[in-house]
Amino acid sequence: MVELNKELFCNLGDRSVDGYFIFNYTAQNFLYLNKPLTNIWELESDEGVKDPKLFLERVHPEDLAHVMACYTECVNEEMENKYEFRLQFPGREKYVRVSVFSITDGTNKLLVGTVEDTTAIRHNKIHIEQINARKNITLEVLAHDLKEPLGMMKLIASSMKEGVAQTGDERMINSLAFIQDMCERNLLLVRSMVNKEFLKSSVVEIRKERADLVWELRDVVRFYKRSKLGKMKHIKFTSAAEQIYLRLDSMKFIQVINNLISNSIKFTADYGHINIHAEEQENTVLITVSDDGIGIPEELHAGLFNHLPETLRPGLKGEESGGFGMGIIKAIVDLHQGKIWFESKTGVGTTFYIELPK
């Protein structure tokens, strides 16, 4: 059984820049609150002691159910738990991380813990994740936009080379051969860059934090719709709720969605439809990425997530496949304790399903 040295704990709290507290769950009052904790909640020192409900009133409405579930969990478990949620103030919000454990002190159950204001860290992390996600999407868009003119230049150079060959002009023939070679090299370079970035952003170690899935997906789709690719395809996002919260490694999971959308673009004709949908179920969240493209032949279904060479196909405009995207996608979904599967019919389209636990 965990024992609490109250004097030592309070001495540490009086010297700390983080919040320290001892809450008597049995009596429903605070036995100890340090000054930094009331500063985080922007309360006067004695307000929280007199009325503990004031702390709950500062919790962001969207996170209230989450906080109450955390409260119930830590009361029932005599082990340390860590939670992150938001506080709401007029025109702004704060992120806080609470480390708490419950102990029994005679007939009283106590909740003892520390609180850290993580607002600046969280905002910086969100900003970095947005930059990384957009970088990967931008690379995918640029790869598509660059490959088309480079492919055309290669084709034209090849055609010209055949005509010039009849004249015997070695200098012109060599120049056109050089253009062909440079186009081929740059096509490979573009695809290599995209593949390497996907691999780097998909390292198997993940760090999950509570995130709004709807916001993350909407941001990805918004970026695609603003690009040239979005003007050539009808890309649409729908959700059964305004917010869906779950624990994610946002940067890596959004790369999964990015890769699925990219594949749909490759195998869907111009002005075809690509739909992304999210809905909350009882214990899980279901995300679908569907298209009305050429579909996946039935003989390729079994090996799609297994890096098999026979599953690699060029896109409708000759886009190459890196050969490992689907394997990494499944690995990332597995690391989120989720499931991924698909349904596809040749000439009708494909739908990928991702089911994640709440």
pTM beyond 0.85: the answer is no
β-partners of residue 100 are 81, 113
What confidence score (pLDDT) does residue 141 get?
61
Report helix, strand or coil for 258: helix
CB-CB neighbours of 226 under 10 Å: 11
pLDDT value at position 292?
Answer: 94
Sheet holding 284-291, edge to edge: 234-239, 273-280, 284-291, 349-357, 339-345
Look at residue 233 and give its three-state secondary structure: coil
d(CA 318, CA 7): 71
Residue 42: both structure tokens together:
């922007």
Q: What is the pLDDT of residue 302?
A: 83
Q: What is the pLDDT of residues 111-163, one digit of tens each?
A: 999 999 988 888 776 666 666 666 666 666 666 666 666 666 777 777 787 77
Q: For strand 284-291 and strand 273-280, is the pairing parallel, antiparallel, or unpaired?
A: antiparallel
Low-confidence residues in the chain, pLDDT < 50 = 202-203, 308-311, 322-324
Q: What letters, b where the CB count within 10 A reaches 16 and e where it falls short, cover 137-175?
A: bebbbebbeebeebbebbeebeebbeebeeeeeeeebee
Q: What is the pLDDT of residue 140?
A: 60
Q: In whole angstroms, give the CA distance from residue 230 to residue 155.
A: 26
Determine how β-strand 273-280 pairs with β-strand 234-239. parallel
**pLDDT tens sequence across 25-68:** 999 999 999 999 999 999 987 887 888 999 999 999 988 988 99
CA atoms within 13 A on the CB side of 248: 25
First to last CA, the chain: 31
307: left (phi over 0), alpha (psi -120 to 50) or beta: left
| Nearest one of 43, 32, 26 to 6, comparing CA atoms | 32
Sheet holding 108-117, edge to edge: 29-33, 19-24, 108-117, 92-105, 81-89
